[in-house]
A and B are shown apart, each in its own frame.
Chain A
């Protein structure tokens, strides 16, 4: 580790770029949320009207809460589903580790849009699941709730974002040396206790990172609900996107964004706080 002024030059490109293309745009968006849209166009002013408008119709609140609920469930499933994979990759399938990681990377690198669309073909009325169910005689009619429902949205979101939870959990599990688990068992812990007292706390940072990633990515997704969600699976991202698209109400869209962002940040903060209290984190 060295001291000196060189780090300033190394960080200069980063700061210039991020002030220009990250912080200023976010500031502008915030400014917009206090402006007004009238028939003649945008009016620069300072008003909280856009924020009050969110509460004016029940619909917005319902959709915001639904988005958060869907994202939360999807993120929980992501973590629950990722842990066994990351765990067995680390401790059980050492030889196949690289191969399986490649498969996960491939799923990450195949087109995002087409993967969503692929689920549409799996879940649809004449999709794979319905075909199989009918073939083995479990159902007579195709199940229609599979597609265009919150369930469909959750399944698809999990599929898309699971790689984002597997990878951080996998990397945090690299800190757990097999000797530690053996030591715990040697000292009298059973399998479950060894896992709960040693493995889980040591890999908690990966779990939290993975959860936050999949939660926020899911909450902001506006393509998945549009393709597989139908009206009951509609999420806030679509509403915001519409304000910047055909509705052309940027100030309201901005206010909606910041309000949602505030709720998401609050939730993530509470989660970390709860974990700290439970002393699960580290």
Chain B
């Protein structure tokens, strides 16, 4: 391997620390995956064999299945709502000039600079006292949108800042009205980013615990179920669930990359 500027490669401090940090990041994940196949229920090193019985147990577990369905449902709702709100806001922030625009771009980011616990308890107070609605998957969805949307805005801003506006002008010049310009030019060009933000929104919502904990009702999401398991003392099924979640996210990332390939006019 060679460095970018042609000097011969030396394995220095920089490389060592990078590799160590990557190991640090990935080791726990590897352990989770490995121990999901461990036959004994205690997570003790070294592993005592190989089994898939915990997988079968999880797939038979109704609590897990219904929590999975709830989480997918919330994730889908959240990604639709937050992508809608976030993309419109991002268009305003990148394409138009108006007063307090700079302030606006900071306000958009406020929810993710607020500690999750405070967002959680304030939403709990709000739902319980003002709206008087009981906690449910709806309150979970409404809460998730609050901290997911800023991420959507961040990603879309990065994309739209790079967007060459003359391409849209060229389309209008060639006879496309506003709708046609969006359909044939703008939309296909931002589609990969849109898919990316939807995946990210789904992922953020799917894994969220800190806010969810306060606003969840009788129907549980997956992290709440996992929390319950962790508190009751660990069984290997937790590893299995985590491995399955990981597999699903990797698949989603790969699919997102494939869909991103563009379709055109004819």
Q: Do chains A and B touch in the complex (CB under 8 A)?
A: yes
State the majority secondary structure of interface residues on A: helix
Q: Write the B17-40 contact mask toward A (1 if CB under 8 angstroms, else 0).
A: 110011011111101100100000
CB distance from A63 to the nearest CB of B (A): 14
CB of A102 within 8 A of CB of B253, answer: yes
- Chain B interface: which size bin? 35 or more
CB of B44 within 8 A of CB of A162, answer: no
CB of B207 within 8 A of CB of A109, answer: yes
Looking at the complex, which of A2-10, A52-60, A198-206, A274-282 is the stretch in contact with chain B? A2-10
A264 to B114, CA, bound (A): 10
* Pick from B17, B45, B85: contact of A131, CB under 8 Å: B45
CB of A11 within 8 A of CB of B203, answer: no
A107 to B121, CA, bound (A): 27
CB of A115 within 8 A of CB of B28, answer: yes
CB of A88 within 8 A of CB of B143, answer: no
Looking at the complex, which of B61-69, B125-133, B180-188 is the stretch in contact with chain A? B125-133
The reply to whether the CB of B193 lies closer than 8 angstroms to some CB of chain A is: no
The residue of chain A having its C-beta at the shortest distance from the C-beta of B82 within the complex is A17
* Pick from B84, B121, B238: contact of A114, CB under 8 Å: B238
The residue of chain A having its C-beta at the shortest distance from the C-beta of B15 within the complex is A88
* Pick from A32, A100, A119, A159: contact of B125, CB under 8 Å: A32
A82 to B115, CA, bound (A): 22
Tell me the B183-237 residues at the A interface (CB within 8 Å): 203, 207-210, 213-214, 223, 226-227, 230, 234
* Pick from B15, B21, B214, B230: contact of A117, CB under 8 Å: B230
Q: Write the B63-95 contact mask toward A (1 if CB under 8 angstroms, else 0).
A: 000000000000000000000111011011001
Among B26, B27, B210, the most chain A Cβ lie within 10 Å of the Cβ of B210
Residues in chain B within 8 A of chain A (CB atoms): 3-5, 13-15, 17-18, 21-22, 24-29, 31-32, 35, 43-46, 84-86, 88-89, 91-92, 95-98, 104, 107-108, 110-119, 121-126, 129-130, 142-143, 145-146, 149, 203, 207-210, 213-214, 223, 226-227, 230, 234, 238-239, 241-242, 245-246, 249-250, 253
CB distance from A110 to the nearest CB of B (A): 5
Query: Can you sample 20 A-B contacts with CB below 8 Å?
Result: A6-B92, A21-B126, A25-B125, A26-B118, A85-B17, A91-B3, A105-B253, A109-B203, A109-B249, A114-B242, A115-B32, A126-B44, A126-B45, A163-B25, A178-B4, A223-B227, A241-B117, A253-B121, A254-B125, A260-B115
Contacting residues, chain B, for A11 (C-beta < 8 A): 88-89, 92, 104
A54 to B137, CA, bound (A): 34
* Pick from A29, A104, A163, A227: contact of B121, CB under 8 Å: A29
CB of A121 within 8 A of CB of B242, answer: no
Q: Write the A87-106 contact mask toward B (1 if CB under 8 angstroms, else 0).
A: 11101111000001011111
CB of A29 within 8 A of CB of B209, answer: no
The reply to whether the CB of A13 lies closer than 8 angstroms to some CB of chain B is: yes
A93 to B28, CA, bound (A): 24
CB distance from A107 to the nearest CB of B (A): 5
The reply to whether the CB of A150 lies closer than 8 angstroms to some CB of chain B is: no
CB of A10 within 8 A of CB of B4, answer: no
A237 to B136, CA, bound (A): 23
A153 to B46, CA, bound (A): 24
Q: How many residues of A contact B (CB 8 A)?
A: 80
* Pick from A24, A111, A159, A219: contact of B242, CB under 8 Å: A111
CB of B31 within 8 A of CB of A13, answer: no
Contacting residues, chain A, for B214 (C-beta < 8 A): 241, 244
The residue of chain A having its C-beta at the shortest distance from the C-beta of B250 within the complex is A106
CB distance from B90 to the nearest CB of A (A): 9
A141 to B71, CA, bound (A): 43
CB of A29 within 8 A of CB of B122, answer: yes
A2 to B142, CA, bound (A): 33
* Pick from B13, B29, B88: contact of A14, CB under 8 Å: B88
Contacting residues, chain A, for B21 (C-beta < 8 A): 81-82, 84-85, 162
The residue of chain A having its C-beta at the shortest distance from the C-beta of B13 within the complex is A84
CB of B125 within 8 A of CB of A250, answer: yes
The residue of chain B having its C-beta at the shortest distance from the C-beta of A42 within the complex is B129
CB distance from B242 to the nearest CB of A (A): 4
A229 to B15, CA, bound (A): 32
* Pick from A22, A82, A131: contact of B110, CB under 8 Å: A22
CB of B29 within 8 A of CB of A223, answer: no
* Pick from B14, B32, B111, B210: contact of A22, CB under 8 Å: B111
CB of B245 within 8 A of CB of A112, answer: no
CB distance from A228 to the nearest CB of B (A): 11
The 7 lowest CB-CB distance pairs between A and B, nearest first, are: A220-B115, A118-B28, A114-B242, A25-B126, A10-B92, A25-B122, A109-B249
Contacting residues, chain B, for A50 (C-beta < 8 A): none
CB of B25 within 8 A of CB of A104, answer: yes
Whether A109 contacts B117 in the complex (CB less than 8 A), given A11-B89, A118-B31, A250-B125, comes out as: no
Whether A122 contacts B27 in the complex (CB less than 8 A), given A3-B96, A113-B230, A222-B117, comes out as: yes
